[in-house]
Chains A and B, each alone.
Chain A
Amino acid sequence: MADASLSVVGAPLRHDSAHLHVAGQARYIDDEPETPDLLHLAFGTSTHARARIVAMDLDAVRAAPGVVAVYTAADVPGANDVSPVAGDDRLLADGEVVWLGQPLFLVAATSRRAARQAARLGRIDYDAQEPILTVEQARAAQSLIEPTQRMARGDAVAALAAAPHRLSGQLAMGGQDHFYLEGQIALARPLEDGQVHVLSSTQHPSEVQHLVAHMLGRSSADVTVEVRRMGGAFGGKESQAALYAAAAALVVHHTGRPAKFRADRDDDMVQTGKRHDFVVDYEVGFDAEGRIAGLCLRLASRCGATVDLSPAINDRAMFHADNAYFLGDVEIVSERLKTNMVSATAFRGFGGPQGMLAIERVMDAVAGHLGRDPLAVRVANLYGPGRDVTPYGMVVADNIAPDLIARLRSDARYDERQAAVARFNAESAILKKGLALTPVKFGISFTTTHLNQAGALLHVYADGSIQINHGGTEMGQGLYTKVAQVVAQAFGVGLDQVRITATRTDKVPNTSATAASSGADLNGMAALDAAETIRARLADFCARTFGCEIDAVVFAGGEVQAGGERMPWATLCRRAHMARISLSATGFYATPDLHYDRAAHQGQPFYYFAYGAALAEVVIDTLTGEHRVLAADILHDCGRSLNPAIDKGQIEGGFLQGQGWLTSEELVWDAAGRLLTHAPSTYKIPTANDRPDHLHVTLWDGANHRPTIHRSKAVGEPPFMLANAVFSALGAAIAATCPEAGWPMLDAPATPERILAALARQRDGVRA
């Protein structure tokens, strides 16, 4: 016990709920006991992507068996808005529809089946208009969610003109459904005097609270939002959970009965936003080594029908279009296209993966053009002394990428294996292998500066047990465990002394979303702040009681030493309580040193960078276009890891999710704007069989140069982009069929169809 408590932070401790999960006793919202008066909800939704609503005849809906009530926009007492920022997401359509599948009316019924069946019976008259769906249509109509943004340094056009080599090309990459295993869900209950309690599977309880209150025309103090855990989220429950929570709260408001909205999987996939798809056009000038002299990059994304979080997501794409490389004279233009589709939203990486994939394609294309090893080109372009300022004017002060890449290169035997792949390809006519090593440099902080704050509430009870609550939410990433480790360490007690309780807006107010990988950074520091407050009170009490210096009070091993005195932690807590010392405190943290001028796209939006690199080896079948990822070797930087086992889990899971985005997960819309891939039968996320046979993850050994919580680094999003190595390796395998043709034009996801098409183009000698 004594030794264990000294090393709570940094130990590979199990997830706080693991014993409950394996026993089927970890409670999710849908597991809450249902009372007989519970109402179940479903939306009636639009069948047009863009139309004026002429009339809605809901008589058949109302008359359907089990239906208790049906609501439309007219029944919303306050603001008909469930949007995070711009005020443009309707809870229920009001006069017009802007995407296919948009909620029109809300059915409350005595069973879920009754609600869902009745929701199909609405008779809606539309005045349909031609929807804007494609990039071309949106560009032609100049349909944008905000003006096109530009981030630039120097004179990219002149640098291009002067460069010895030039190349241009295009890369399209698809979106991605979150496919959290637990779908969207909310359960609202009436409290006295018009107050509402909402259990919401949300990464952003405060936003749900504010939106529900606003929708009901009440104050935030009348609404409490609670979430103990989510069955996965990945960004898909940052802004998207509000729709269902608001619907449930609306029904509570009108009926006074509890109401649960659990979206069916198909409905969830149709009704909620996904990762943005992007089309990237590039023009690059470079020298004989492949070193970039000038770059013009145009990033265009389909943002869907409303603003949602698209400005910040597209900003983050621009911020990561450099990845780990110094780009010299550069111009990055970012178009945010408004289309009649469900609004695209946050998804792990938040635009970063798209920006990063763009520059990795540029690296590969340059290497293909020069006939050089892509890794040599990458290394030549890394940030380094005298080349250490990003396109947005931030100095890369913690550049470990060169060392990290060199280490992975030697540990994973890159050069040897590249030679082996070349030998294999020389002898194999049908199967071709590819190998690639790509880096990740990911900026940590919300780029909207004010979001970088967090609060915590800590109670020490007189029996020595500790309860910690903070604004972060648990979606499986292990945040609760990490924060509990921080608290246990602060008091020198074991993890079993610390009980972490559900995230609630009535305990910690005005919180930010658990997003941007910031959960442990922000909430860990806030919890530590609270713990240090109480520890200081206890140390002061000990010093006065036992006549020693405050500094001589030591909390370790489940005990407290004060001068010559030594007592169990619980004994001290009891004595402090008897002496009327407050054992409860709040904590707060705001990330320092952040500033950003968005108009100029210059400043210091990040506190630090998290790094990583991956080597991937793939094989493709040139007759069928199928592929396998044979091996992946990963070296990833978590600073001084708070919990290496949890961090490795994030890295493995993030990598495979990234692999899914780039290979098998394909979203297909028809010409009317209807999503066709709205179930796991048609939308393929990776299974255990898609995972590389050899997947080796190592943590980089090094502390964060910034004073973060125990010098750790954020780990939620960065590993997702390690999968870029898979995409580059697939390109290398295709290139191997006809190296003279340069780098192949392969779009993502690299489905068998796309790989076959790229192979055909490669044979025909079309250059990327």
Chain B
Amino acid sequence: MSLHFVEFELNGCQIDGMVEARRTLLDFLRCDVGCTGPHAGCEHGVCGACTVLVEGQAVRSCLMLAVQANGKTVETVEGLSGGPKELHPIQQLFREEFALQCGFCTPGFLMTLVALDRSEPRPNAAEMREALSGHLCRCTGYQGVLRVIDRLTEDRK
């Protein structure tokens, strides 16, 4: 089985490794790099728990191959802030609004929300809600996430 050299910028740091062509970006990040913020929920591209940003776009890292990230910039939830003590404003909102219970889905929601929040023109609350319907959460009933969206879009007015 031939291995491929892959290198990309992960959360501001240059990383590299040798991977099989079919290794997913999710497996590469979690197992080879030890970056475990993106979670393996379904590995089918349906639940959204594995969402990361590639070149600023939210992608499902279980559906992308590691080699496809070669030369790109990749951001995961770990890169949003300097850690639990200095949270990104959206992370802070998630915490304040009780937008999580078990937390397994949370990194995926956060990455999609961050991408939406950065995009121009910025989407309204209904568009954000629509985009988030591609993320599954089994615990919360989504109420907290919707409050986060409300506050995000309120701040903007």
Contact = CB atoms under 8 A, between A and B. Distances in A.
Given A28-B39, A653-B140, A679-B46, A22 B102 contact: no
Interface string B79-98: 01101110100011011101
Contacts of B143: 648-649, 652, 691, 695
A649 B98 contact: yes
Contact of A31 (B36, B140, B144): B36
A26 B137 CA distance: 17
A687 interface: yes
Interface stretch (A472-480, A566-574, A699-707): A472-480
B65 interface: no
B53 interface: no
A265 B44 contact: yes
B53 to A, nearest CB: 13
Given A652-B143, A653-B140, A688 B103 contact: no
B152 interface: no
Interface stretch (A10-18, A401-409, A426-434, A485-493): A10-18
B150 to A, nearest CB: 13
B34 to A, nearest CB: 7
Interface stretch (B2-10, B66-74, B116-124, B125-133): B125-133
A232 B102 contact: yes
B17 interface: no
A649 B141 CA distance: 8
Contacts of B133: 687-689
Determine the main DSSP class of B at the interface with A: loop
A30 B104 CA distance: 11
A28 B105 CA distance: 12
A695 B146 CA distance: 11
A611 interface: no
A174 B42 CA distance: 23
Interface in A676-735: 679-681, 685, 687-689, 691, 695
B54 interface: no
A477 B43 contact: no
Contact of B105 (A181, A183, A652, A689): A181
Given A21-B106, A689-B133, A645 B145 contact: no
A475 to B, nearest CB: 6
Contact of B136 (A14, A15, A475, A687): A687
A180 interface: yes
Contact of B138 (A232, A646, A649, A681): A232
A15 B94 CA distance: 11
Given A24-B37, A689-B133, A691-B141, A15 B101 contact: yes
A308 B133 CA distance: 35
B87 A680 contact: no
Interface string A155-189: 00000000000000000000000111111000000
A754 B127 CA distance: 31
A649 B144 contact: yes
A14 B143 CA distance: 15
Contacts of B134: 687
Contacts of A264: 43
A221 B137 CA distance: 38
A625 B44 CA distance: 28
Given A23-B87, A23-B91, A179 B103 contact: no
A42 interface: no
Contacts of A25: 37, 78, 83-84
A180 B138 CA distance: 6
A299 to B, nearest CB: 27
B13 interface: no
Contact of B142 (A15, A20, A691): A691
Nearest to A476: B102
A323 interface: no
Given A232-B138, A645-B98, A680-B44, A182 B104 contact: yes
A503 interface: no
A29 to B, nearest CB: 11
B110 interface: yes
Nearest to A27: B36
B67 to A, nearest CB: 16
Nearest to A264: B43
Contact of B42 (A21, A265, A646): A265
A30 B94 contact: no
Contacts of A681: 44, 46
B87 A688 contact: no
B47 A181 contact: yes
Interface in A437-466: none
A23 B102 contact: no
B136 A680 contact: yes
Contact of B44 (A229, A653, A679): A679
A194 interface: no
Contacts of B80: 23
B102 A230 contact: yes
A646 B101 CA distance: 9
27 contacts: A14-B98, A15-B101, A22-B77, A22-B84, A22-B100, A23-B83, A24-B77, A28-B36, A28-B39, A30-B30, A31-B36, A34-B31, A179-B136, A181-B139, A232-B102, A262-B40, A478-B101, A649-B141, A653-B140, A656-B141, A657-B138, A685-B136, A685-B138, A687-B133, A688-B129, A688-B133, A688-B135
Interface of B: 30-31, 34, 36-44, 46-47, 49, 76-78, 80-81, 83-85, 87, 91-92, 94-96, 98, 100-107, 110, 129-130, 132-146
**What are the 8 tightest A-B residue pairs by CB atom distance, in nearest-first order?**
A24-B37, A476-B102, A231-B104, A21-B103, A476-B101, A652-B141, A24-B77, A656-B141
Interface of A: 14-15, 17-28, 30-31, 33-34, 178-183, 229-232, 234, 262, 264-265, 475-478, 645-646, 648-649, 652-657, 679-681, 685, 687-689, 691, 695
Given A25-B84, A476-B103, 15 more contacts: A15-B101, A18-B98, A21-B100, A22-B106, A23-B80, A24-B37, A30-B36, A181-B138, A182-B39, A182-B102, A230-B102, A477-B101, A657-B141, A680-B44, A688-B129
